[in-house]
Structure 1
C-alpha cells in the first residue's frame, strides 16, 4: 500500500464509508502504470494524421473482425490528440474512402445508418 509522503496511508473501513480517498496499489498495478510511461505521447509533438485511405483500411479490418453492423464513424473526441478532421469538410473524404474498401450496403451502415439504428433503439 502506498500513502502520501509523511501521512498514514488510507485504509478502507466500511463499505458505506466514503469519507476518504483509498489509495491502494499492488506491485502489479504499479508495474503496469510505469510501463504506460513509454507510450505516453509528448503533447507538443506533431500529430501524424492518417490519410482517408489509411483510415478506411482500418475500418475494413474492423468490419472483417466484428461485422459492419457494429462499426460507425464517431464524431466526438474522448481526449488526447485527434486525427479526425478539424471541421466537417473532411468527412466527405472519409466517407468516399469507406465506399472504396467495402460494399455499398456496408458503407451506408458505417456512414450513418448504424448510428440512426442505435439512436432509434435508445429512444424506444
Structure 2
C-alpha cells in the first residue's frame, strides 16, 4: 500500500510491535519473578515508615498552583525553541510572530493568575 493509508499502516504496525514488546516484557517479568507474599510485604507504607491512623490526608491547594506554574513555564520553554527556528524560515515571519504573541498572552495570564493568588511570594 503506497497510497494515503499506507503511512497509517506503517504507524499501526509499529504500534502493534511496540505493544507486543511491552506485553512480552511484562509477561516475562510475571513468569520469572519470585512470588512470596507475606503480611509484612502486603502492608502499605510510605518512606519506610509503618502507617499510623487513617489513610486519608488533606493537602493544601497551593501545591496544585505550584504544579500549574511548573507546567506553564515548562510548556513555555518547550515551545520557544522550535518557534525561534521557524521564525527565521522564509515566509513564516509575521505568522509565527503573531502566534507567539498569542502564546505569550496565555503565559502572561498564567503568571497574572499566580500573582493574584500570591504564589510568587518567597514565603
TM-score bin, normalised by smaller chain: under 0.3
The TM-score normalised by the length of structure 2 is 0.25
User: Rg: which structure is higher?
Assistant: 2
The TM-score normalised by the length of structure 1 is 0.25
Q: Which has the higher contact order (CA 8 A, sep 6+)?
A: 1
Higher relative helix content: 2
